[in-house]
């Protein structure tokens, strides 16, 4: 029997059909990658705007009545979900011919994040802060857990409560109200795994319209949070301490629409770096900010990989003989959890033992078993993986389980001998725009085929 326990892809009208004795899916978005390896990547690739900066910045435009335009927001499945989310509130959202994303938030008549949208993308939660501040009431479906762990939102709610919001849960929805407006407060936002990225975004977006001063201690310092703060300031907010763990926000009475360019995607850049390293390639990564990626650059250099920053990006030169090293994921400026899987694929090819410790999402290891199917030698012990380097990876059919795990399988597939089949590549489409075309321009041999097995 076909089991459809995942939610993103949608059945099209025609039912599943038997082909070559197997039940084949007819599901939109169930494409498959066939990756022929090994290859050596070479050439230039340009990094797109950041998904994780773009999503909260789209939510921030809801704070100001009028039409904002965003530059560099990538064309990704998650961004389309966010566009739908904002549309159903009563706003106009349009991708213009010039690629700019226009959001007209003159009117918001339905400040709600419905289950059907939030279940597709948990980052939908970042409408909580701006809608509460603008409309005085918001309802958002509680996001569930996902392939990378439990993902609670308690810190978001604690922060908003301290700003004066009344919050209760009803039928799976968070309902937050502040009919009299919000009031500045001193808020500590640290949790058991450090700061919270979207929690900081939510509380900051609520605080910009609160009366008086808000101080957020243990704020997330990620470049995406700093980009959001810079965008809010461009809309008339008064935030200082941007990029530090102590944000000081002096509330204003209103914000105005903005034209704003989002920063380049450091996780996409890091994924291309991993691909260059795993294939002993030479890749010029344009439009990236190595200064935002010091921990990543440091690890690459320890692996013997050359990273040379230049004007608008950097050049990464890999080598056959990869040095083993240790990686511990941490909040920024530490090594990002969003690159842990891709770098594990590289370390799988090092000439010795490495250790990878996951300190943000201790269960984010769905890629381990799949990489082992490709002849990697990985042993998971709790939130630690011991990586015994192997001489080569070998192609196999594998299953993408989440966005970054699937990126790791692509990196491994480029280096592996034979044809790797990656099922469920809709996961990768959530965060990487046409990655196969961009890698193919670097010499990869990736074919996208419609309809994988369920």
Q: Annotated active-site positions, please?
A: 146
Report the run of H or E that residue 206 belongs to, with start and end: helix 197-207
- Say whether residue 154 binds ligand EPU (CB under 6 A): yes
Measured CA to CA, the distance from residue 241 to residue 248 in angstroms comes to 6
- Say whether residue 337 binds ligand EPU (CB under 6 A): yes
Closer to ligand EPU at the Cβ: 152 or 333?
A: 152
- Say whether residue 199 binds ligand EPU (CB under 6 A): yes
Residues 394 and 417: beta-carbon distance below 8 Å: yes
Residues 416 and 387: beta-carbon distance below 8 Å: no
- Say whether residue 79 binds ligand EPU (CB under 6 A): no
Instruction: Looking at residues 211 to 250 of the shown chain, list those that interact with ligand EPU (rule: CB under 6 A).
Output: 220, 224
Residues 364 and 337: beta-carbon distance below 8 Å: yes
When binding is defined by CB under 6 A, the residue of 83, 117, 118, 153 that contacts ligand EPU is 153
Contacts with 441 (C-beta within 8 Å, 6 or more apart), sequence order = 43, 45
Measured CA to CA, the distance from residue 374 to residue 303 in angstroms comes to 21
* Stretch of 64-72, 189-197, 345-353, 418-426 lying at the interface with ligand EPU (CB under 6 A): 189-197
Closer to ligand EPU at the Cβ: 280 or 361?
A: 361
Binding to ligand EPU by CB under 6 A, coded x per residue (else -) over 419-438, reads: ------------x-------
* Residue 179: CB minimum distance to ligand EPU, A: 24
- Say whether residue 303 binds ligand EPU (CB under 6 A): no
* Residue 267: CB minimum distance to ligand EPU, A: 6
- Say whether residue 196 binds ligand EPU (CB under 6 A): yes
Closer to ligand EPU at the Cβ: 173 or 361?
A: 361
Token pair recorded at residue 276: 């260059």
Closest CA to 368 of 383, 357, 379: 379
74-75-78-80 Cα dihedral, nearest 10 degrees: 130
- Say whether residue 191 binds ligand EPU (CB under 6 A): yes
Closer to ligand EPU at the Cβ: 153 or 374?
A: 153
The radius of gyration computed from the CA coordinates of the chain, to the nearest angstrom, equals 22
Residue 287's alpha-carbon distances to 50, 72, 221, 376, in angstroms, are 11, 11, 21, 32
* Residue 234: CB minimum distance to ligand EPU, A: 20
- Say whether residue 310 binds ligand EPU (CB under 6 A): no
Find tokens 């990464």 and name the residue. 316
Contacts with 99 (C-beta within 8 Å, 6 or more apart), sequence order = 71
- Say whether residue 409 binds ligand EPU (CB under 6 A): no
- Say whether residue 30 binds ligand EPU (CB under 6 A): no
Closer to ligand EPU at the Cβ: 134 or 430?
A: 430
Closer to ligand EPU at the Cβ: 260 or 361?
A: 361
Closer to ligand EPU at the Cβ: 11 or 193?
A: 193
- Say whether residue 50 binds ligand EPU (CB under 6 A): no
* Stretch of 33-41, 145-153, 312-320, 370-378 lying at the interface with ligand EPU (CB under 6 A): 145-153
In the DSSP assignment, the letter for residue 175 is E
- The backbone region for 326, taken as left when phi is positive above 0, alpha when psi lies in -120 to 50, beta otherwise, is beta
Measured CA to CA, the distance from residue 408 to residue 345 in angstroms comes to 6
- Say whether residue 74 binds ligand EPU (CB under 6 A): no
Measured CA to CA, the distance from residue 300 to residue 335 in angstroms comes to 11
- Say whether residue 155 binds ligand EPU (CB under 6 A): yes
* Residue 173: CB minimum distance to ligand EPU, A: 17
Measured CA to CA, the distance from residue 366 to residue 150 in angstroms comes to 14
Chain residues binding ligand EPU by CB under 6 A are 52, 55, 123, 151-156, 191-193, 196-199, 220, 224, 337-338, 360-361, 403-404, 431
């Amino acid at each position: 029997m076909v089991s459809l326990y995942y939610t993103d892809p949608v059945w099209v009208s025609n039912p599943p059909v038997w082909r070559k004795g197997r039940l084949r899916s007819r599901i939109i978005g169930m494409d498959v990658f066939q990756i022929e390896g090994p290859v050596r990547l070479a050439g230039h690739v340009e990094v797109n705007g950041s998904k994780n900066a773009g999503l909260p910045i789209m939510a921030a435009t809801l704070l100001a009545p009028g039409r904002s335009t965003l530059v560099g927001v990538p064309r990704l499945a998650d961004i389309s979900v966010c566009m739908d989310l904002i549309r159903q509130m009563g706003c106009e959202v349009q991708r213009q011919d010039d690629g700019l994303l226009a959001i007209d938030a003159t009117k918001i008549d339905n400040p709600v994040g419905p289950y059907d949208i939030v279940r597709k993308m948990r980052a939908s939660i970042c409408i909580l802060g701006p809608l509460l501040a603008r409309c005085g009431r918001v309802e958002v479906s509680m996001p569930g857990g996902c392939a990378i762990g439990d993902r609670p939102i308690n810190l978001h709610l604690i922060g908003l409560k301290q700003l004066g919001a009344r919050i209760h849960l009803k039928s799976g929805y968070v309902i937050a109200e502040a009919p009299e407006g919000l009031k500045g407060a001193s808020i500590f936002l640290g949790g058991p795994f450090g700061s919270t990225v979207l929690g900081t975004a939510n509380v900051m977006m609520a605080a910009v319209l609160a009366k008086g001063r808000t101080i957020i201690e243990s704020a997330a310092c990620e470049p995406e949070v700093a980009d959001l703060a810079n965008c809010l300031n461009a809309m008339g907010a008064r935030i200082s301490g941007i990029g530090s763990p102590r944000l000081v926000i002096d509330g204003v009475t209103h914000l105005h629409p903005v034209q704003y360019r989002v920063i380049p995607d450091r996780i996409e850049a890091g994924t291309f770096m991993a691909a260059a390293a795993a294939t002993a390639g030479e890749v010029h990564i344009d439009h990236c900010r190595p200064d935002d990626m010091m921990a990543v650059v440091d690890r690459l250099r320890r692996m013997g990989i050359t990273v040379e920053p230049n004007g608008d990006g950097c050049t990464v030169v890999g080598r056959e003989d990869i040095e083993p090293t240790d990686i511990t994921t941490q909040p920024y400026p530490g090594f990002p959890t969003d690159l842990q899987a891709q770098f594990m694929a590289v370390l799988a090819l090092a000439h010795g033992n490495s250790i990878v410790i996951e300190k943000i999402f201790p269960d984010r290891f769905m890629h381990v078993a799949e990489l082992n199917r490709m002849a990697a030698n990985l042993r998971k012990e709790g939130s630690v993986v011991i990586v015994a380097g192997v001489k080569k990876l070998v192609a196999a059919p594998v299953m993408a389980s989440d966005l970054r795990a699937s990126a790791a399988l692509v990196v491994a597939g480029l280096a592996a001998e034979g044809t790797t089949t990656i099922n469920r590549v809709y996961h990768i489409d959530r965060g990487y725009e046409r990655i196969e075309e961009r890698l193919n321009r670097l010499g990869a041999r990736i074919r996208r085929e419609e309809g994988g097995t369920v």
